[in-house]
Amino acid sequence: MTKSELIQQLCTQYKGKGSPAVSCADMREAVDRILEMLADALAVGERIELRGFASFCLHDISARQGRNPRTGESVPVPPRKAVHFRAGVELRALVNNG
């Protein structure tokens, strides 16, 4: 599922459900804002936990010597941070048990 498919599905699901209808533009803005907030939190080193879904945290990858595959030349690879995704218990159960 892509981001635009998610937004479209949310628009369809919440169009006129007894409460005031949410426009697709508002839904797109909400999804964009949520993803922006998650990215900002990770950028400052915070851990994100969405109970029942997953958690995201940063792992430090140390510097190392790499190799240019074209020339075989040794090149230094600087240290970096990588986002680590860990599925929650409920998500794992849903995926494994259908």
- Same domain for 41 and 68, yes or no, is no
- Same domain for 7 and 27, yes or no, is yes
37-78-84 Cα angle (round to 5): 40
Q: What DSSP string runs through the chain?
A: --HHHHHHHHHHHTTTSSSPPPPHHHHHHHHHHHHHHHHHHHHTT--EEETTTEEEEEEEE--EEEE-TTT--EEEE--EEEEEEEE-HHHHHHHHH-
**pTM above the 0.75 mark?**
yes
Separation CA 47–CA 44 (nearest Å): 9
Q: Who has greater pLDDT, 81 or 98? A: 81
Q: Which residues constitute the domain of residue 9?
A: 1-46
- Same domain for 7 and 34, yes or no, is yes
**Number of separate domains in the chain:** 2
Q: What is the pLDDT of residues 15-57, one digit of tens each?
A: 766 666 778 899 999 999 999 999 999 999 999 999 999 999 9
- Same domain for 57 and 39, yes or no, is no
